[in-house]
Amino acid sequence: MYKVFVNDIPIILSSRKEIGAKYKTFPLKTVRLKKIIKKINNGKLEFVHLYHAKESEILDVLFEKIKVVTAAGGMVVNPEKEILFIYRNGRWDLPKGKTENGESIKDSAIREVEEETGVQNLEITRFITRTYHIFKRKQKFRLKETYWYEMTTDFNGPLKPEKSEGIKKAKWKNFKKSQKALKKSYANITMLFSDAYLAGESEDWVA
């Protein structure tokens, strides 16, 4: 099963014919995806399920329907177990950005975190997951596939938010402040954190 977000509303993609009475199901192979996106944006659809019989083919079929932009980013943790957030477009987010031609995804993730926050000495500790969300560029819908990595750093210098990218703040946030930030974040960002962390029951952020 996959979730593709349109704003904060998830389109569910699965190999199950039905996933619940409240969901309207469409065959992924023949669905008019742009029409579905527009209806979601206009508030005419909320619970959408796209069905395809073979789980292994779901992403391939989806990628045939919409141009994909590959991006990478990081959940960066310092020795105090604080997490690095950026503030852009009125929401707290994690640093990420588009991969460049000829660049590995891991290198892209590190470069984007460095550029957007000024943090150095980054080390990738594990791959977390991929997230998917739809956005509009030059009047055309695009699907952003973001690869997320957990990273550590001992950097304790000043943070430098990348103003040219619309980032107003870059902040280290402890457990309590992270929970507040995540309430003013995006649904695909909260997916990176464990349910216990989001509920304030554990400081273990591992989803």
User: What pLDDT score does 137 carry?
Assistant: 87
84 touches 167 (CB < 8 A): no
Q: What is the pLDDT of residues 128-146, one digit of tens each?
A: 999 999 999 888 999 999 9
Return the C-alpha torsion angle 165, 169, 173, 179, nearest 10.
-80
Q: What is the pLDDT of residues 45-72, one digit of tens each?
A: 999 999 999 999 999 999 999 999 999 9
At the fourth CATH level, the homologous superfamily of domain 69-198 is Nucleoside Triphosphate Pyrophosphohydrolase (3.90.79.10)
For 96, phi and psi rounded to 5 degrees?
A: -165, 165
User: What pLDDT score does 207 carry?
Assistant: 75
User: What pLDDT score does 111 carry?
Assistant: 98
Please state the three-class secondary structure of 88-109 as a single string: ECCEEECCEEECCCCCCHHHHH
User: What pLDDT score does 72 carry?
Assistant: 98
Q: DSSP assignment of the chain, as one string?
A: -EEEEETTEEEEEES-S-S-TTSEEEETTT--HHHHHHHHHTTS---EEEE-S-GGGHHHHHHHHS-EEEEEEEEEE-TT--EEEEEETTEEE--EEEPPTT--HHHHHHHHHHHHH---S-EEEEEEEEEEEEEEETTEEEEEEEEEEEEE----S-----GGGTEEEEEEE-HHHHHHHHTTS-HHHHTTB-HHHHTTS-S--B-
Q: What is the pLDDT of residues 85-144, one digit of tens each?
A: 999 999 999 999 999 999 999 999 999 999 999 999 999 999 999 999 999 988 899 999
* Residue 104 one-letter amino acid: S
Q: What is the pLDDT of residues 156-198, one digit of tens each?
A: 999 999 999 999 999 999 999 999 999 999 999 999 999 999 9
Q: What is the pLDDT of residues 9-39, one digit of tens each?
A: 999 999 999 999 999 999 999 999 999 999 9
User: What pLDDT score does 206 carry?
Assistant: 84
Return the domain boundaries, the chain: 2-65, 69-198
Cα(58)–Cα(82) distance, integer angstroms: 36
User: What pLDDT score does 74 carry?
Assistant: 98
